[in-house]
Amino acid sequence: MEYLPDKNSSYKDVAYWDERYRTEKHYDWLGSFSSFQHLLENVIKKDDSILILGCGNSSLSGDMYNAGYHAITNVDYSSVCISVMSAKYSSSPGMTWHQMDVRQLAFSDASFDVILEKATLDAIMVEEKSPWEVSPETSTFIHQALTEAGNSILNSTGVPLGCVLSLLMYYFYTSNYKATQL
């Protein structure tokens, strides 16, 4: 409760996240690695190069690292987050941290085999009533983020060499499925 913003739209603001990460040590949105491990281990190989979008102070990257995934690049637009997390994982070779907006990724083509997001789209879509029908602004934002992600897994001739996995969308689908089974 301590970190609840006055208005939901703050989840879109980097100032909100910077302030939160100054004191919050750790929080895992939607669930931790163990909730998604069965899904991820089916599709991600241990030597894949992985990009995590909007990493926050989640344990996902650290838990994946401990599970044997050692090429993990993390981005978040909060400089406070990146500074805290890069210090925390300074002794994990292969794990890197970059302050970057997901709409303007600075990686060259085909840099990654897998791109993962967990609740980052959620922050972007916070003002929407339904994830299935979003405003033109949110649609543009997500289009920009997915285009950037797409470029990071396409080679120079436009052939996809990797995949983008949304744990948020997986969460929506499985929650909805469980709800309709009750």
Ligand X SMILES: C[S@@+](CC[C@H](N)C(=O)[O-])C[C@H]1O[C@@H](n2cnc3c(N)ncnc32)[C@H](O)[C@@H]1O
Q: Which residues bind to ligand X, rule: CB under 6 A?
A: 17, 27-29, 54-56, 58, 76-78, 81, 101-103, 118-120, 122-124
Q: Which is nearer to ligand X, 49 or 74 (CB)?
A: 74
For residues 78 and 100, give the distance between their C-alpha atoms in angstroms, rounded to a whole number: 8
**CB nearer ligand X, residue 27 or residue 173:** 27
Nearer to ligand X, 81 or 153 (CB): 81
User: Taking the complex as a whole, how short is the minimal distance between the CB of residue 182 and ligand X, in angstroms?
Assistant: 26
**Least distance from ligand X to the Cβ atom of residue 134, Å:** 15
Q: How many helices (H) and strands (E) does the chain have?
A: 7, 5
User: With contact defined as beta carbons under 8 Å apart, do 109 and 81 qualify?
Assistant: no
We find the least distance from the C-beta atom of residue 14 to ligand X, in angstroms, to be 6
How far is 108 from 131, CA to CA, in rounded Å? 30
What's the closest the beta carbon of residue 46 comes to ligand X, in angstroms?
A: 21
Q: Which is nearer to ligand X, 78 or 155 (CB)?
A: 78
Instruction: Count other C-beta atoms under 10 Å from residue 174's C-beta.
Output: 12
Written in H, E and C, the secondary structure of 141-179 is HHHHHHHHHHHHHECCCCCECCEEEEHHHHHHHHHHHHH
